[in-house]
Amino acid sequence: MGSSRYWERVTGKRISRRRVLAAGAAAGLGAAGVALGACGGGGEGEDTGGSPTALPQGTPKPGGKVTIGLPVDPGSLDPQRSVSSGYISALIHNPLHAINMSTQEFMPLVAEKLEQPDQQTYIWTLRKGVKFHNIDPTFGREVNADDVVYSFDRLKAGPTLNDRKLLTLRAEGYEAVDAGTFRLRTKIPFSPAIDQTGNFSYSIMPREAVEKWGGELAFNASGCGAWILEEAIRGERIRLRKNPDYYIAGRPFPDEEEWPVIPDTGTLWQVYKTGKLDLVSLNVDKFKREEIEGDPRFQVVESPNLWTLNCYTKVDRPPLDDIRVREALDIAIDRDDYVDKLFFGEGKWNGPIPWTLEYWALPQEEIRAALKYDPEKARQLLTAAGYEDNLDINCPIPAFGDVPKAATIIADHYRKIGVTLKIQQQDLAVFLAQSLYASEFDIAIFQNQPYMEPDIILRTYYSKGQNADRNPGHTNDPEVDALIEGLWNIFDQEERKKAVLDVQRTLLAKHGPMYPLCSVQGFAGYSSRIRGLQEGTGLIGWLGTTYWVED
């Protein structure tokens, strides 16, 4: 089984070329960046890439206001009830810790330390002096282990799209040992536990706020993060102000943030180019990059894009219950053409885990070999399966983002092998309720949530439910179930990575219940007055503590 490197990453020992520093080091800076990476540092002996304590390059300047344009309303700001607003709720709320899934570094947040005396026991020591925001109803009181118990109970019991199987199925129990210590024990060894408790859906929520606002937590909040919610108006804007009592001394640097909602992406881009936005929450494709190239007012930062489009397949009824049909439809997709038309030639092919989650992803050459475009073989497979004549495939899709364009591209590919993809555009809510989650489709094309934990991503192929306890493709493959469950017993990090890669190789050969397609690297545009953002930070550096304004 091995135990070396998995344990090292949570006890603060070196596991790569990057140091994982103990909490409270470097002048009490704690976790400066999380989830998508921190900014690099500078100076002799200082961490220069991605550790929680890394100082931004240059001399940070306090004060000022940052304006960030949003193309869509973020929906609920409640991290335990929403999977799509993490980029803002992570500024307001913090979990016990986080894992940088690109580097596998452990990043202490509300907890300063995590210990594991055995493979089923996890003990967090809370950082002293972490306070909820000094507003009604929390009034700056200190966070304690009872708050962690309450937050885990709420996540476990609540209706949510967030993954909570650790709490509903794997946890034997959890408790506040004392005010500063929280302990969780699993029923069986479950190696993804650290990754999952580091997800922002495990943020620490104060009971007072839940009792005061209830369902109105979508647009009200009191957390322990770097930013305090000042105002949230549905469909218009969100305003935040600096938390002066944040547990990372001196952070955040700006005094204010404002997030105006500009639903038309064309308008959003034009407003950004006028200089009225400091950062645009919009993927900046190569044509947009060419527009601002050489203009000293603008910069572009590269960051992993974990949003991916995939084809779900219904594997328990004809025609897709026949692996020959599934393989035919999989290899009939010309993924290079898909990349050219959808991403202007900039994307790469995905395996079961998207290529932008580089640590866990299969090499491109393997994916290309397994999913090689071969329309002639596809026609032969369909004939062998009894579908020599035209085959109609029912394909509901949401009228959302790039989904309609992606479906049209794939339909063109299928016509070449005598298959008609019968596309039915639906409102997103109707698609989710009546098509995807009701399993009423042959193929359904949809955008996966940007999960960073391999266990949750692979659960799409697991018969006992994926994500929100759903199995839309009705998969039931004992071999795949055994492989995925086998990952839970592997604690050595290198062994776990090897096993995750091997599971993906098996899944590609099954051609379902999901066809991975392709995705593109993310690029965000920001103003030259913003400093401290570098490649790997995501749009804003999740905790909102790495950047400052310099006019």
Residues composing the chain: 551
Q: At what angle do helices 323-331 and 375-384 cross, to 10 degrees?
A: 160
Residue 74 identity (one-letter amino acid): P
Percent of the chain at pLDDT exceeding 70:
85
Note the pLDDT tens digit of each residue in 224-273.
Answer: 999 999 999 988 999 999 999 999 888 999 999 999 999 888 899 999 99
Give me 457's structure tokens: 């991503």
pLDDT class of 482 with cuts at 50, 70, 90: very high
- Signed CA dihedral, 216, 217, 222, 226: sign only: negative
Note the pLDDT tens digit of each residue in 72-119.
Answer: 888 789 988 876 666 788 899 999 998 876 677 788 999 999 999 999
Q: Are 547 and 286 in contact (CB under 8 A)?
A: no
State the pLDDT at residue 82.
76
pLDDT class of 470 with cuts at 50, 70, 90: low
The pLDDT of residue 368 is above 60: yes
Average pLDDT over residues 469-475: 78
State the pLDDT at residue 426.
96
* Residue of 419, 426, 422, 418 lying closest to 407 (CA atoms): 422
pTM for this one?
0.83
State the pLDDT at residue 447.
85
State the pLDDT at residue 163.
66
State the pLDDT at residue 38.
28
State the pLDDT at residue 30.
26
pLDDT class of 487 with cuts at 50, 70, 90: very high
Note the pLDDT tens digit of each residue in 263-313.
Answer: 888 899 999 999 999 988 777 888 898 999 899 999 888 777 888 999 999
State the pLDDT at residue 465.
56
State the pLDDT at residue 26.
25
The pLDDT of residue 536 is above 50: no
Partnered with residue 227 across adjacent β-strands are 242
Give me 19's structure tokens: 């140091």
The pLDDT of residue 508 is above 50: yes
Mean residue pLDDT across the chain: 84
State the pLDDT at residue 257.
95
φ, ψ dihedrals at 337, nearest 5°: -65, -40
* Residue of 133, 91, 166, 172 lying closest to 456 (CA atoms): 166
Structural domains in the chain, CATH included, are 4-60+75-221+530-549 (3.90.76.10), 227-240+253-304+522-526 (3.40.190.10), 308-519 (3.10.105.10)
